[in-house]
A and B are shown apart, each in its own frame.
Chain A
Amino acid sequence: MKASVSALRFWNITKVGLMAISRNKMRSLLTMLGIIIGVACVITMVAVGTGASSSIQATINSLGSNFIMIFPGAAMSGGMRSFTGESKLTPEDVTAIKAECPAVAYASAGTRTNAQVVAGEQNWGTQVWGVDVDWPFIRAWNVAEGDFFTDVDVRSSSKVAVLGATVAENLFPNGDAVGSTVRIKHVPFKVVGVLERKGGNMMGQDQDDQIIAPYTTVMKQLMGTPRINLIYVSARSANEVGQAQIEIESLLRQRHRLQGAQESDFNMRSQEEIASTSAQTSRTLSILLGSAAAISLLVGGIGIMNIMLVSVTERTREIGVRLAIGAKGRHVLLQFLLEAIALSVVGGAIGVGLGLLIPNLVTRFAGLPTQVSSGSVLLAFGFAAAIGVFFGFYPARKASRLDPIDALRYE
Chain B
Amino acid sequence: MSTPIVTASRRAVPPLGGLTTTLLRLELRRLLRNRRTVIFTLIMPPVFFLVFGTKTAYRSQSVGHGNVTAYVAVSMAVYGAMLACTAAGAVVSVERAQGWSRQLRLTPLRPVAYVVGKALVALVTGLASVVVVFVVAAFSHADMPAHVWVECGLLAWLGSLVFAAFGLFMGYLLPAENVMQILGPVLAVLAFAGGLFVPLDDGTLFATLAKLTPLYGLATLSRLPLTSDGNGWTALLNILVWGGLFTAGAAWRFRRDTARV
Q: Do A and B come from one complex?
A: no
